[in-house]
Chain A
Amino acid sequence: MDNINFVDYEQIDSLMKTFAIIDKGNGEYVSMPKADYDAQIAANQTLPSNFVGIGNAPADPTA
């Protein structure tokens, strides 16, 4: 299970922006804006039940 932390970073325009730091273990992590992380969760991109993708394999019309 990934460990998620949220960290506020001051941007070059002095505005604060919150990033999600997703700890993958072994020192590895992924950093992304919290808004992107929230959108990813909302889309359930990592969950099979909500995978939209290209769709399951259709019948092969040439078979």
Chain B
Amino acid sequence: MSIKYNGGYLPTVGADGSTLVANSSASTGVSWAGQAFSQPVLNSAFQIWQRGTNISYSNETKYAADRWQASISQSAASISQRATGDTTNLPFIQYCSRVQRTSGNSQTSDIQFAQSFESINSIPYAGKTVTLSFYARAGSDYSASSKGLQYRLVTGTGTDQNVLTGFTGQANAILQTPALTATWQRFTATATLGASISQMAINFVFTPTSTASTNDYYEVTGVQIDLGSVALPFRTNSGTLQGELQACQRYYYRSSTGVAYQQYGAGIGKSTTVAGIQVKLPITMRTVPSSTIDAANLSLYDTSGTVVVSSVAQSGLNSTPDVYYLEATTAGGLTQFRPYILTNSNSTSAYIGFSAEL
């Protein structure tokens, strides 16, 4: 059934619960779309960078912006937070991610930049029509052939897997390679997902050519997935900066306030060299954080003096998604059974980080 309006016809009546939205690409100027509830992409506007706002890569796979992981088989590349600097072509999104091959680098293997979603956040989209959208632009020396940036909406049938190590039953629901320009553009693509998918991921692929010049990069932001065939106005997953931070901390938490002698946790001297320390995590994480800890410039403090920590390690069995228990090793000078606070060595660059990523 079509509804007549203003001399024309509205599209066929949409599915129950769908809403009518403006769509300049449709002949009628309107389309039925899914409801504008929360979208699943976390840190979609690149506001949260707990690991630092400029991450260097040398033949490795690791996270940059929270929830965004890159796999770069090249000796010199970087991912950094940048200001979009454009309020005309962007809906007032402050930040973007710059994915850059370092000047002088002549390696041309793919630079992959991806976000994998938990199954619990993917299954609601199974069997549904979805629209992936994002904003992107190219640096003046962006070297990809025809200035292309490949993007994919990848699906899988496994549980809580990481797309950069491969999904079970992996398939590309969307695969496009639009040409970027120096000006921000919004790109959208629509697909209907398989009914049995249990995972989704977004993956951007930059395939560089020749030797990198100074501005061999692309920038991306405003990454969004909507139900239906229309890209709705951009919004973040949580709607607030605090909500976005906490959503990201479900997967990774780094305590790094930049304050000298910041405190991270407290515990007891186990021997003259080791203290057991409990760190209360700010939110319940996805799982018990992994036994891989990243840290810098830590000390133990007994209200009298500090002892430099040489390394920390998870002490198994009794960590939970809420509380992490670790052992801090020093060169000596601790007192057994004396209370200690885990602090830093008068350092503004100290941190300790825990991961529960996919």
| A residues lining the B interface (CB < 8 Å) | 5, 7, 9-13, 17, 19, 21, 26-33, 36, 45-48, 51-54, 56-58, 60-63
Contacts and interface: CB of A to CB of B under 8 A. Distances in A.
A27 B312 contact: no
Indicate the size class of the contact surface on chain B: 35 or more
A60 B176 contact: yes
Contact of B164 (A13, A53, A63): A53
Contacts of B316: 11-13, 17
A5 B164 CA distance: 28
A52 B291 contact: no
Given A9-B327, A57-B207, A33 B317 contact: no
Contacts of A60: 150, 175-177
Highest count of chain B CB atoms <10 Å: which of A48, A54, A57, A63: A54
A31 B205 contact: no
A45 B61 CA distance: 7
Given A31-B292, A58-B175, 20 more contacts: A11-B315, A21-B310, A26-B296, A29-B294, A29-B296, A30-B295, A31-B311, A31-B312, A31-B314, A45-B60, A48-B59, A51-B61, A52-B166, A53-B61, A53-B165, A54-B114, A56-B110, A56-B207, A57-B205, A62-B176
A15 to B, nearest CB: 9
Interface string B287-315: 00011111111000000000000111111
Contact of B291 (A36, A54, A58): A36
A55 to B, nearest CB: 8
A60 B149 CA distance: 11
A12 B315 contact: yes
